[in-house]
A and B are shown apart, each in its own frame.
Chain A
Amino acid sequence: MSDLKYKLVVGLEIHVHLCTKTKMFCGCGLEYGVTANSRICPVCLGMPGSLPVMNRQAYEFAVMMGLALNCRISRFTKWDRKNYYYPDLPKNYQISQYDLPLAEKGYIEIPLEEGRTKKIRIIRVHLEEDAGKNIHAGAYSHVDLNRAGTGLLEIVTEPDMNSPVEVRALAMELQRIVRYLGVSEADMQKGHMRFEPNVNLTINLGDKEVKTPIVEVKNLNSFRALERSVEYEIGRQLDEFAETGKVMEMGNKSTRGWDDVNQVTVLQREKEEAHDYRYLPEPDLVPVELDDQWLGDIKSGLCELPLQKQMRFVSEYGLSDYDAGVLTADRATADFFDEAVKAGGEPKRICNLLTQVGLKMANEKGCSLADLGFSAANVAELAKMAEGGDVSASAAGTILEKMTEMKENPQAIAEKLNLIQKSDAGELEAVVDEIIAANAEASQQVREGGKKSGKARGFLMGQVMQKTKGQANPKVVSEILGKKLS
């Protein structure tokens, strides 16, 4: 690799599968992993004479996304046919949106390290139908059309990303948003999200800047592949530039694929063929007019977006950016946490309980916090008990774990398990006196405050705890010891 000064420039095209009940233009259900060609009808098969009918929910989901991405929402949008021949495309045209996308000119804020964020501009958001799948098997190819006609959201960003980390951050933030809004399950394994970065470099040659030819990497379906492919392209494009000096020109954009095994991009098409899709307005569908009432209804389905929530948890609750990030990774966790805090628990303590114990259990069981068998109010109560010294921090964790099985409130569990701490100063004072009397040497060392006082103090604490079977509130014991041996 050469040591040229360069700047990475990446724009991203993202396809998101919407989790509507039915397909985009027919009544077929959306299910993954079912028998090939079992979720099909005359419409999504493109049978002669069949006609599409727009899925209103898909449209509303798309508008929600447009709003979440701060876009200008078109009050009038129409459908177009994109014509091309491929066996997995039954009509040999795809119903899409060409010149009047339903949302455009927005931005997304992405979280970077240390609570920093960056705005990436969104060019457009539009809806289209997905194609089916070609399955190659020996001499023949089969076509599975279960996916054909599924609602697909296409989001196109400006080339505003300048590092592989930013590209990954955008992809992940988008996943978080679609999940918060409930418009997609965004399950990468099921191919619910696909990424296509457009990558090139601006190279500084001292007296001038040049741009390397743009490469589009097709069909990436994991964050890792996305980040790696962009990283790989930096090196590859630098090498290529050093070798050939080729710069960006009209028509020299190329297409590459990602080879996951060898972790390299592979050339697919040298020159972007001027693909002529012969777009025409879809005559079988009427344009969509979005009036104030409808837009209002859609807006009411929006929620606080993840990054806002994350930042609020930091500013309002004093959490670290890291903790806030963990808690806002999904909406159910964030909402659960928020509810517990609102029920009166101390935020940091609740955060610790949830991130250190609750989420671990949820992950093990493959469910969300709310499904663990305790309520946010229970967690708030537990946090208050720990705060008031009724239970120790570690006992609180144990109690939370037990709450899933015992289905009782934290107080009852703490009592049953003998986890309530002794905080009664009078009672503890007697124990402390007893220990001091029995351990004169250690007591003296503490009093003298010399080198050995720390260890001696720890020893005395241990003796008190042993005597009380661990139920003494260490804070109170420490205070009494301090008073007695000063």
Chain B
Amino acid sequence: MEHLSAAELRDRIKAREISSFEAAKTVFARIEKYEPKIGAYISIFEETALAKAKEVDKKIASGKSVGKLAGVPVAIKDNMCTIFGTTTCASKILENFHAPYNATVVQKLLDADAVIIGKTNLDEFAMGSSTENSGLKKTVNPWDTGRVPGGSSGGSAAAVAARLCFGALGSDTGGSIRQPAGFCSVVGLKPTYGRVSRYGLVAFGSSLDQIGPLTKTVADAALFMNVISGKDLADSTSVDESIAPVADYLENLNQPVENLKIGIVPHLNAGADEQVLGAINDSINFYKSTGAEIIELEMPHLDYAIAAYYVIATAEASSNLARYDGVHYGYRTARPKDYIEVYSKSRQEAFGAEVKRRIMLGTYTLSAGYYDAYYLKALKVRNLIRGNFTKAFEKCDCVIMPVSPTTAFKIGEKMADPLQMYLADIYTIAVNLAGIPGISIPCGFDSDNMPIGLQILCPAFEEAKLLRIARMFESETNWHKVYPNIINHE
């Protein structure tokens, strides 16, 4: 049962072939068995999840209509607020924080009759690419427990890959859905900025953050998008549906995009691993074999994406994280001398090193005299990058590139050198700066049997087309059907 997709499971639950209760029980049994090795979850809601599952089963039995994710056990990244349990952001500063409300996406999942089984681990405040920056626990890659699951949505990716849920939500500020999806061989979609409400998503870089699904299949990603997309009055930056209508992402999903034109950006591949590039080339050749035209693109400003990103994201983060001060909620230092110490010691004691690094970086770049040189310049670069994509999409339907220059690296390998960690985000970051949607789908394995992700990018609000292009590949390949052996053979 654990290998069913969310859509398949939902159909069987609705057909009363499997009960939601059974599905949840199966998941909790697997969690009991494998979670100690994987460490995907920060919190698990067995009792409430089983109650909800029973409720959905009852609804179905009584012939009542049920939601799009009826009875499906799902997980959410622990930076989305839930009125139940804690919302920790994997930070000591929020370790015991109980949010007084549900994030819009959480409410939408509940309204769709999904069964929320737990909240997954992440890099503290979503700052990182390996989930090693979690202040609360360690998550490993289900394909090799000596390696990282990617990040920052590492817990969600690992949980889906290890079949510890049937789909999960993550958030993506600079690749945090796509990169762990690639590292763990699952599907990860970052929607267009403004497509999914951010209300209740604990902010890291507000102009970059976007919630999206991590799933086993492209169809499941479409299904989740059908549930979570749309304008939210509580999020001013969510886009009005009169401007960009929300599609039924499942409709026409299996219909290939005709006269497909694919853009590639060869100059970005300089530092990438040969085996990764090989798998990407094979994928491009697959599309070619379906009749797609391949167009080589010049996107010169993408070279500056990482620099611009780390200015903008950290500037916003320095302001967003100012509220964790020990005054109103969250961790407070034990014996402050005065109120200044409430701030300084609480923050010093409870924030991890990477969070502190980014707060300091952002504080610095916003300081008087530096603003123009850093923040303003970064905004200009951001506009140029947007321009690069706009121009590219005049020539092609989508752009294809790797998700990451390497497959999942060893735990601890990059912790000593933050810059190396930042540079590994080369393929994902520009997408957030441009605000466009991107998806990572499984496209192969390297010689160590570590998964490789294929990244496809489309113009803003063209998730429907993006999913169809991804589905063209998925429907003709089997990479997404392979699951980590380590789980079954250990």
Contact = CB atoms under 8 A, between A and B. Distances in A.
List the 10 closest pairs (A to B, CB-CB), nearest first. A92-B322, A283-B206, A278-B366, A283-B207, A49-B200, A48-B202, A49-B81, A276-B368, A49-B202, A91-B323
Given A48-B99, A51-B198, A285 B203 contact: no
B281 to A, nearest CB: 38
Interface string B188-211: 000000000011111101110000
B236 A284 contact: yes
Contact of B325 (A47, A92, A141, A279): A92
A53 B236 CA distance: 6
B237 A92 contact: no
Contacts of A87: 327, 339
Contacts of A280: 315-316, 319, 366, 375
B84 interface: no
B31 interface: no
Nearest to A286: B236
Contacts of B237: 51, 283-286
12 contacts: A47-B99, A49-B203, A53-B233, A83-B319, A85-B322, A85-B325, A85-B343, A278-B363, A279-B371, A283-B206, A284-B237, A286-B236
Interface of B: 79-81, 87, 89, 94, 97, 99-101, 103, 198-203, 205-207, 233-237, 315-316, 318-319, 322-323, 325, 327-329, 339, 343, 363, 366-368, 371, 375
Q: Is the interface of B mostly helix, strand, loop or mixed?
A: loop
Contacts, number: 98
Contacts of A52: 236
Contacts of B316: 280, 283
Contacts of A49: 79-81, 87, 99, 103, 198-203
A50 B320 CA distance: 11
Most buried by B among A45, A48, A278, A283: A48
Contact of A51 (B235, B325, B327, B343): B235
Q: Is the interface of A mostly helix, strand, loop or mixed?
A: loop
A72 B234 CA distance: 31
B344 to A, nearest CB: 10
A93 interface: yes
A384 B149 CA distance: 91
Contacts of A182: none
A90 B197 CA distance: 23
B367 A276 contact: yes
A54 B236 contact: yes
Contacts of B89: 48
B328 to A, nearest CB: 6
A431 interface: no
Given A51-B198, A280-B375, A83 B322 contact: yes
A437 interface: no
A42 interface: yes
Interface string A73-99: 000000001010101001111000000
Contacts of A279: 366, 371
Interface string A267-292: 00000001010111001111000000
B236 A47 contact: no
Contacts of A92: 322-323, 325
Contact of B328 (A54, A81, A90): A90
